[in-house]
């Protein structure tokens, strides 16, 4: 009885570990993708506005 329960818990734990391991793989794969240039351009643009512009913050 107890043994079955233990085995069940172990099995569930193993499934959980396996799922989380795969989640991390999926997430890390995306994390390592090369970033589109648009973000660097966007930040540069925002920074430029901030530096030269006097307006904006009301």
CB nearer to other proteins: give 4 or 33.
Answer: 33
CB nearer to other proteins: give 5 or 36.
Answer: 36
Q: How far is the CB of 20 from other proteins (least distance, A)?
A: 5
SS3 14: helix
Q: How far is the CB of 2 from other proteins (least distance, A)?
A: 16
Distances (CA, A) of 44 to 30, 35, 37, 40, 49: 24, 15, 11, 6, 9
Q: Residue 47 CA to chain centroid, in angstroms?
A: 25
Residues that bind other proteins (CB under 8 A): 10-11, 13-33, 35-36, 38-40, 42-43, 46-47
């Amino acid at each position: 009885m107890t043994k079955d329960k233990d085995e069940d818990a172990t099995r569930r734990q193993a499934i959980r570990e396996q799922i989380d391991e795969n989640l991390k793989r999926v997430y890390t794969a995306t994390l390592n993708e090369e970033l589109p240039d648009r973000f660097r351009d966007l930040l540069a643009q925002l920074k430029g506005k901030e530096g030269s512009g006097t307006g904006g913050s009301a």
